[in-house]
A and B are shown apart, each in its own frame.
Chain A
Amino acid sequence: MSKMVPLPTNSIIPERDLDKIPVLETRHLGIDFGGLTAVDEFNLTIGRTEIAGLIGPNGAGKTTVFNLLTKVYQPTRGTILLDGKETSGMSTVQVNQAGIARTFQNIRLFSSLTVEENVKIGLHNQVKYRTVNGLLRLPSYWKQEKIAHERALELLSIFNMEDLAEHRAGSLPYGAQRRLEIVRALATNPSLLLLDEPAAGMNPSETAELMENITKIRDTFQIAIMLIEHDMNLVMGICEGICVLNYGRIIAKGTADEIKRNPVVIEAYLGKKKEG
C-alpha cells in the first residue's frame, strides 16, 4: 500500500495518486428529506486508484451518500466533482456514463435474464450497434455481438464465472449473485466503483476471497473503489482511506490504524465510556 498523504481539503489520498486529478471530490454535500437532514457537510476526496471505505453505524447515511453520488437523490446542497468535472444537473444515466457504477445492498440483478445478459446490460453503452442491424443480422451486428460476448466472458473470468454465463441470474447462489453485481457494474467501464456491503452474507473464506478480488480489480482496471461495509476485517484489511459517518456527518477520516484508535469512532460504535 502506498503512503497516505493529507490534502489541504482535510482528506487523505494515496501518495501515488497525488499527481492525478482525484476521481471524486465532494464539497459541502448534503441532502434534507423534509425537515430531516440525512447527510450534511460531506467533504471527501478519493484518489484515482484508491480503495476507500465508508463506515458507520446503521442509519448513519452511508447508502444515502451512494444515492447522492449516483444521482438517485438530487443533493440539496454542495457539489460533486467527478474527474474534476461537476455533476450537477446530470441524471443517473449520465453519471453512470461519466464513470460511476455501483452495486446494491440488497441484490438487484435482472434475475430473469442470464448471467451473460446481465453483464451485457452493463455493456449497453460500451458496445453499440444499430437495432436494425440486430434484426436483420447484418455483419456489423455479429461483429459487435461477438465483441460484447467476448468482453462479457472476460469480465466474468475475474471471478471465474464464465461457466455460469448461460444460467439465469436469479438461480445463482447468493455469493455468486453478489459477484455478478460487481461484474455488471464493472461492465459499464467506471472510473469509480461503489460497492454497497459487498461481503454481506458471505462466510469468512468467501470474504477473504472477495478482499483479494477487490484489490485485483483495482490493480487490473486502475480504478478507484469506494465500499460500504460492516465487516471490519475487510475494511481494515484493504481500505486505504476510511471515512466514518454518524448521523449524516463525517466524524473521522484516516487510515485503518488511525480509525481503530480514534476515540470518537469508538464512542460512535460502542457508546460512551461511563465515568468513574
Chain B
Amino acid sequence: MAFLSYLANGISLGSVYAIIALGYTMVYGIAKMLNFAHGDVIMVGAYIAFCATSYLGLPSIVAILLAMAVCTILGITIEGLAYKPLRAAPSLAVLITAIGVSYFLQNAALLIWGSAPKSFPSLVGIPPLKLFEGKLIITGEAIVTVIACIVIMIGLTLFTGKTRMGKAMRAVSEDKGAAQLMGINVNHTISVTFAIGSALAAIAGVLLCSAYPVLLPTTGSMPGIKAFTAAVFGGIGSIPGAMVGGILLGIIEIFGKAYISTQLADAIVFSVLIIVLLVKPTGLLGKAINEKV
C-alpha cells in the first residue's frame, strides 16, 4: 500500500514538473532558446495567488486566473525586453540573459515580499480520496494536479494540431525563414508561445505551493531546474516528451526519497538524466536533429 501511495505522490509531483516542462519545451521548440527564468515565473505566479487570497481575500479560482494573467503579461514583457533584441545574437548571449532575468526576478521578489517564507494556503478545496478502507489516501491537491496536467496536455495537443496559430507555431519551429516568407509573423508567434508557457507556469506555481506550502523567492528555481531536466529527459522540443519526462522524473524522485535516501533523491534524479542522455542523446521522445553544415 505504501508503494501505491508513493506512486500517487510521484505522479502528482511529476505532473507539476510536466506542466513546467511544457513551458521550457515550447519556448525551446519555437525560439530555440533555454528560458532559465521560467522557474522564477512560477514563483511570481505563486506569490500573486498568495497575495490575492491572503491579502485581498479573493476566491481561489479568481486568484489563479489573476496569477495566470500577471504571469502571461510578465512572460510577454520578459520576451519583448530581454530576448527579442537578441534574436540574431549567439545562443550563449541569450542563455546568459535568461540567467540574468532569473536573478532579477528572484531579487525583485525578495524586495517586494521579503525573505521570510510565506505559508501558502492550499487553493484546492477538494477532500482527500480514501481508498482501501482508508489505507491509501490521495490528497485533493494530487488529484487536481493530475487532472490539470491531463487537461493542459489535451488542450495543447489540440491547440498545436488543430488551430491556425498552433500550425503557425509548428511551422516556425521547423523553419523560421520559410515561415516568414509564407507570411507568418515570427515575433508574434514567439510572443504567444511565451504567453502560453508563462500562464502554465502560474498554474504550476499554484499547484506546487498547494502541495508544498512554503513560499520563498527561490521557490521556483529548483522545480524549474528539475522541469528543465524533465524536458531534456523526454526530448526537448517535444510536447509529449515533456509530459512523459516530467511524470517519470516525479516518480523517480519520490521513489528515490522513499526507498533509497532522502538526501540523495536529487542526485538520483540528475543521475538518471545523465544516463538517459548518454544512451539516447535526444531524450526519450526527441527527434534526431540534422544540423545543416
Interface residues of A (CB under 8 A from B): 70, 72, 91-93, 96-97, 101-102, 104, 108-113, 117, 120-122, 124-125, 127-129, 131, 134-135, 145, 148, 184-185, 187-188
Contacts and interface: CB of A to CB of B under 8 A. Distances in A.
B5 interface: no
A72 B186 CA distance: 13
A188 B183 contact: yes
Interface of B: 155, 158-159, 162-168, 170-171, 174-175, 177-186, 287
A110 to B, nearest CB: 5
Nearest to B292: A106
Contact of B180 (A93, A110, A113, A122): A93
A43 to B, nearest CB: 24
Given A110-B171, A110-B174, A111-B174, A122 B182 contact: yes
A97 B183 contact: yes
Contacts of A145: 162
21 contacts: A70-B181, A91-B180, A92-B181, A93-B183, A96-B181, A96-B183, A101-B181, A108-B175, A108-B177, A110-B170, A112-B287, A117-B170, A121-B168, A121-B179, A128-B164, A131-B163, A131-B164, A145-B162, A184-B182, A185-B182, A188-B183
A91 to B, nearest CB: 8
Interface of B is mostly: helix
A145 B174 CA distance: 23
Given A110-B170, A110-B171, A135-B158, A93 B185 contact: yes
A122 B178 CA distance: 10
Given A93-B184, A131-B165, A135-B159, 12 more contacts: A92-B181, A93-B185, A109-B178, A110-B171, A111-B174, A112-B174, A121-B171, A125-B183, A127-B164, A128-B164, A185-B182, A187-B182
Contacts of B162: 134, 145
Contacts of B186: 93
A124 B174 contact: no
Nearest to A100: B181
Nearest to A132: B163
Contacts of A104: 178
B132 to A, nearest CB: 39
Contact of A121 (B155, B159, B184): B184
B3 to A, nearest CB: 38
Can you list the 6 inter-chain pairs with the closest CB atoms, starting with the nearest? A134-B163, A96-B183, A108-B178, A92-B180, A110-B174, A125-B183
A129 B164 contact: yes
Contacts of A102: 181
A185 B181 CA distance: 9
B178 A110 contact: yes
Contacts of A72: 177, 181
A150 B273 CA distance: 46
A70 B177 CA distance: 11
A120 B167 contact: yes
Contact of A113 (B155, B159, B164, B171): B171
Contact of B170 (A113, A128, A135, A184): A113
A121 B163 contact: no
A124 B168 contact: yes
Pick the most buried of B158, B174, B287: most chain A CB atoms within 10 A of its CB.
B174
